[in-house]
């Protein structure tokens, strides 16, 4: 493999922080005047290198196991690395590609193509703070619903007319660990139960997924998702945009409908999307995943879901008919 250091221009200086500085090779190709003050920098990284120009701001990097990026190819060209050497470097790099790298690359390409992005969220209500055991009304409620303790549920302690006077817990909606919206769940029995500040195409729970999980459990409600570590489509159907986002996770999908009239619609949509459906034979009073987790525990519920997982269209149809009878 080529040693990039051999292609750097003369008059190089090593800095204590590990950068090699030299006259940048990029600027004149980017509409800036050529660098004469050693403002190009290259630093070796764990499995490659990183280039930064402090004159025209060009950056490029290389990681063994990854495709050479367009920017890196250009940079190498400007350094005078022959075209065939660049191609060799790319091939050599791909030989070191790990399965993880391949999945990540596909993921990135997919996200870019499907433009999964969300805008700025509406602000949280005033005085929002994270629920701790000091606030037993809220703390006990979210524990009872099987929400993991490390999930930041919020509330507004001053419910004195600044905002709602009804007690509520607020669940932040995140995507790639950025807040993009929220829902408030009121704790009295008045209507509405929820106020949602979501965005079209959003699916709750993508940040609850672990990279080594093979399956993703798709549920209807926020508390279903929180209690099982699944996703919530927040409705009894899945929009096309939501389906794209769920597919972008690159996992096997198992849809668990609520065991009520509305849930039947979700089953049809899951079949249409070619996803597996799971309708565990829970006691009649267990209507959804959250009920099951509260009564049976998370592990037992997950086992029930996986055991009842069905991929055959005909078998799903049979299960659906049984569910129809059960809920009638
Ligand atoms: Zn430059």
Task: Please check whether residue 39 is in contact with residue 50, taking contact to mean a CB–CB distance below 8 angstroms.
Answer: no
Phi then psi for 217, rounded to 5 degrees? -90, 120
Rounded to the nearest angstrom, the distance between the alpha carbon of 11 and the centre of ligand 1 is 16
Q: What pLDDT, on a 0 to 100 scale, did the predictor assign at position 69?
A: 84
Q: Which residues surround ligand 1, an ion (CB under 5 A)?
A: 24, 26-27, 53, 55-56, 58
Task: Please check whether residue 229 is in contact with residue 254, taking contact to mean a CB–CB distance below 8 angstroms.
Answer: no
Q: Looking at residues 55-59, what average pLDDT do you find? A: 81
Residue partners of 202: CB distance under 8 A and separation at least 6: 118, 173, 175, 180, 181, 234, 242, 245
Closest CA to 125 of 68, 168, 94: 168
What is this structure's pTM? Answer: 0.65
Number of CB atoms found within 10 A of residue 286's CB: 19
Rounded to the nearest angstrom, the distance between the alpha carbon of 123 and the centre of ligand 1 is 40
Q: Looking at residues 174-196, what average pLDDT do you find? A: 88
In whole angstroms, what is the distance from residue 298 CA to residue 282 CA?
A: 14
Rounded to the nearest angstrom, the distance between the alpha carbon of 284 and the centre of ligand 1 is 68
Task: Please check whether residue 291 is in contact with residue 321, taking contact to mean a CB–CB distance below 8 angstroms.
Answer: no
Rounded to the nearest angstrom, the distance between the alpha carbon of 63 and the centre of ligand 1 is 21
Q: Looking at residues 16-40, what average pLDDT do you find? A: 88
Say yes or no to pLDDT of 1 above 80: no
Rounded to the nearest angstrom, the distance between the alpha carbon of 65 and the centre of ligand 1 is 26
Say yes or no to pLDDT of 278 above 60: yes
Q: What pLDDT, on a 0 to 100 scale, did the predictor assign at position 310?
A: 97
Say yes or no to pLDDT of 141 above 50: yes
The DSSP string of 61-77 is EEETTSPPPHHHHHHHH
Q: What is the pLDDT of residues 105-131, one digit of tens each?
A: 666 666 655 556 777 777 777 677 888
Q: Looking at residues 255-266, what average pLDDT do you find? A: 96
Q: What pLDDT, on a 0 to 100 scale, did the predictor assign at position 114?
A: 59
Q: Looking at residues 66-71, what average pLDDT do you find? A: 84
């Amino acid at each position: 493999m080529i040693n990039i250091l051999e292609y750097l221009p003369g008059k190089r200086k090593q800095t204590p922080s590990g950068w090699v500085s030299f006259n940048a090779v990029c600027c004149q190709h980017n509409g800036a005047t050529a660098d004469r003050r050693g403002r190009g920098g290259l630093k070796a990284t764990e499995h490659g290198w990183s280039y930064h120009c402090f004159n025209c701001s060009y950056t490029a990097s290389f990681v063994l196991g990854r495709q050479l990026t367009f920017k890196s190819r250009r940079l190498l060209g400007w350094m005078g690395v022959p075209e065939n050497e660049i191609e060799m470097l790319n091939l050599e790099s791909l030989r070191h590609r790990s399965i993880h790298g391949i999945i990540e690359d596909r993921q990135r390409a997919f996200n870019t193509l499907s433009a999964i992005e969300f805008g700025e969220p509406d602000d949280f209500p005033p005085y929002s703070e994270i629920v701790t055991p000091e606030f037993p009304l809220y703390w006990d409620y979210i524990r009872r619903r099987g929400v993991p303790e490390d999930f930041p549920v919020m509330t507004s302690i001053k419910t004195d007319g600044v905002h709602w006077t009804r007690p509520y817990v607020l669940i932040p909606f995140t995507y790639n660990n950025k807040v993009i919206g929220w829902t408030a769940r009121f704790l009295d029995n008045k209507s509405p139960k929820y106020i949602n500040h979501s965005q079209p195409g959003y699916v709750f729970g993508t940040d609850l997924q672990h990279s080594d999980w093979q399956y993703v459990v798709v549920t209807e409600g926020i508390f279903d998702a929180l209690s099982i570590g699944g996703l919530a489509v927040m409705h009894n159907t899945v929009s096309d945009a939501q389906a794209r986002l769920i597919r972008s996770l690159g996992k096997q999908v198992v849809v668990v409908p609520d065991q009520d009239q509305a849930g039947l619609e979700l089953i049809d949509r899951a079949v249409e999307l070619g996803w597996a459906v799971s309708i565990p034979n829970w006691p009649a009073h267990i209507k959804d995943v959250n009920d099951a987790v509260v009564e049976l525990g998370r592990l037992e519920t997950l086992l029930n879901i996986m055991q009842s997982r069905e991929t055959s269209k005909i078998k799903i149809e049979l299960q659906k008919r049984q569910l129809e009878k059960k809920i009638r």
